[in-house]
C-alpha cells in the first residue's frame, strides 16, 4: 500500500490569540489617545480588541493611529525602595513597542521633538543604524530618549531621573521643620525628639508634593513617547 509522502513544508503554527483589553486598559488607552485631540470622546466597546478600538476611533472622528500608538505603551512597575520611602519613584521609564514599524529614515526630527517636549537642549549621544539615543541633563536630573530596532518592532523608550528635584523638596521640608522648631513649642522637645524630627519631618513634608509631581511627570513622559512614536512613524 502506498502511503502519502510526507510534506517538506513545516506544520502550520497556531495563530496567536487576539488580545482583548479590560475596562481599565481601555480607559487608559482612550485617555492617552484623546489627550492629543481636544474634545475627542470614544464609546468603548465591551471586551474589545485593538481593531475594535481603532474602528470606534474612526467612527468618532479620532485618528485610529493615535489609539494604536496609545495601546503600544508599556509602563513598567514603579515599585521598589524609593516608592516605599518617598511615595513615588525618583526614576521613571516609559516604553512603546511599535510592531511592524521600521527604524525612521532621519533622526534630526526626533532630537527636535525631544528638546521641545523636555523644554531644554540636549545632545545626540548615539546615532547608528537601528539605534538612536538623545540625552539632556539639568540640575534636577535628566531625560534620556532611545529608539531601538528589535526584529520587526521599533522600541521607543524614555527614562527620567528626578533625584535632584526630590532633594530640593526634601531640603524645603528640612527648613520648614527647623522654622517650626524655632518658632513654636516644638523647640521644647527633648534632644532625641528634635533629632528624630529632623530625620523624619523632611520626608513627611515632601511626600504629598512629590506624589503630585510624579503624576504630572508620568503624564509628561507618556506624551513624549507618543509624540516620538508619531514622528518615527511619519519618517519611516
Per-residue pLDDT, averaged over 71-97, amounts to 74
pLDDT score of 169 more than 60: yes
Same domain, 148 and 35: no
User: pLDDT-derived band of residue 144, with 50, 70 and 90 as boundaries?
Assistant: very high
Q: Is residue 63 part of a domain?
A: yes
Angle at 50 between CA 49 and CA 56, to 5 degrees: 95
Out of 15, 39, 71, a domain closes at: 71
Same domain, 223 and 124: yes
User: pLDDT-derived band of residue 157, with 50, 70 and 90 as boundaries?
Assistant: very high
- Nearest by Cα to 146 from 95, 105, 108, 109: 95
User: pLDDT-derived band of residue 43, with 50, 70 and 90 as boundaries?
Assistant: low
* CATH number for position 99: 3.30.160
Q: Is residue 37 part of a domain?
A: yes
Look at the chain and report how many structural domains it folds into: 3
Q: Is residue 7 part of a domain?
A: no
Residue 229's contacts (CB-CB under 8 Å, 6 or more residues apart) are 69, 72, 96, 98, 156
Same domain, 150 and 224: yes
Same domain, 127 and 177: no
User: pLDDT-derived band of residue 46, with 50, 70 and 90 as boundaries?
Assistant: confident
* 34-43, 65-74, 124-133, 210-219: least confidently modelled range: 34-43
Euclidean distance between CA atoms 87 and 223, whole angstroms = 23
Question: What is the span of the domain harbouring residue 180?
Answer: 165-208
pTM (2 d.p.): 0.71
Same domain, 99 and 33: no
What is the average pLDDT score of the chain?
77
Euclidean distance between CA atoms 107 and 128, whole angstroms = 10
Same domain, 131 and 222: yes
Out of 12, 39, 71, a domain closes at: 71
Q: Is residue 16 part of a domain?
A: no
Q: Is residue 120 part of a domain?
A: yes
Per-residue pLDDT, averaged over 88-94, amounts to 78
Same domain, 101 and 182: no
Task: Give the Cβ contact number of residue 66 at 10 Å.
Answer: 23
Q: Is residue 202 part of a domain?
A: yes
Amino acid at each position: 500500500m502506498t502511503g502519502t509522502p510526507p510534506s517538506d513544508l513545516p506544520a502550520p503554527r497556531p495563530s496567536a490569540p487576539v488580545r482583548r483589553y479590560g475596562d481599565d486598559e481601555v480607559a487608559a488607552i482612550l485617555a492617552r489617545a484623546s489627550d492629543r485631540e481636544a474634545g475627542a470622546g470614544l464609546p468603548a466597546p465591551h471586551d474589545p480588541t485593538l481593531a475594535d478600538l481603532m474602528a470606534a476611533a474612526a467612527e468618532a472622528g479620532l485618528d485610529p493611529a493615535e489609539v494604536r500608538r496609545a495601546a503600544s505603551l508599556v509602563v513598567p512597575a514603579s515599585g521598589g525602595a524609593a516608592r516605599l520611602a518617598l511615595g513615588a519613584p525618583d526614576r521613571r521609564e516609559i516604553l512603546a513597542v511599535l510592531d511592524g514599524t521600521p527604524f525612521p529614515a532621519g533622526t534630526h526630527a526626533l532630537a527636535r521633538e525631544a528638546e521641545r517636549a523636555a523644554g531644554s537642549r540636549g545632545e545626540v549621544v548615539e546615532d547608528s543604524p537601528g539605534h538612536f539615543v538623545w540625552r539632556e541633563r539639568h540640575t534636577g536630573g535628566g531625560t534620556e530618549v532611545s529608539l531601538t530596532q528589535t526584529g520587526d518592532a521599533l522600541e521607543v523608550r524614555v527614562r527620567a531621573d528626578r533625584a535632584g528635584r526630590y532633594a530640593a523638596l526634601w531640603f524645603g521640608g528640612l527648613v520648614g521643620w527647623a522654622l517650626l522648631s524655632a518658632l513654636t513649642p516644638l523647640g521644647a522637645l527633648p534632644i532625641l525628639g528634635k533629632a528624630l524630627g529632623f530625620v523624619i519631618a523632611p520626608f513627611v513634608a515632601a511626600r504629598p508634593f512629590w506624589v503630585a509631581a510624579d503624576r504630572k511627570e508620568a503624564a509628561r513622559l507618556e506624551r513624549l513617547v507618543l509624540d516620538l512614536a508619531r514622528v518615527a512613524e511619519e519618517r519611516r
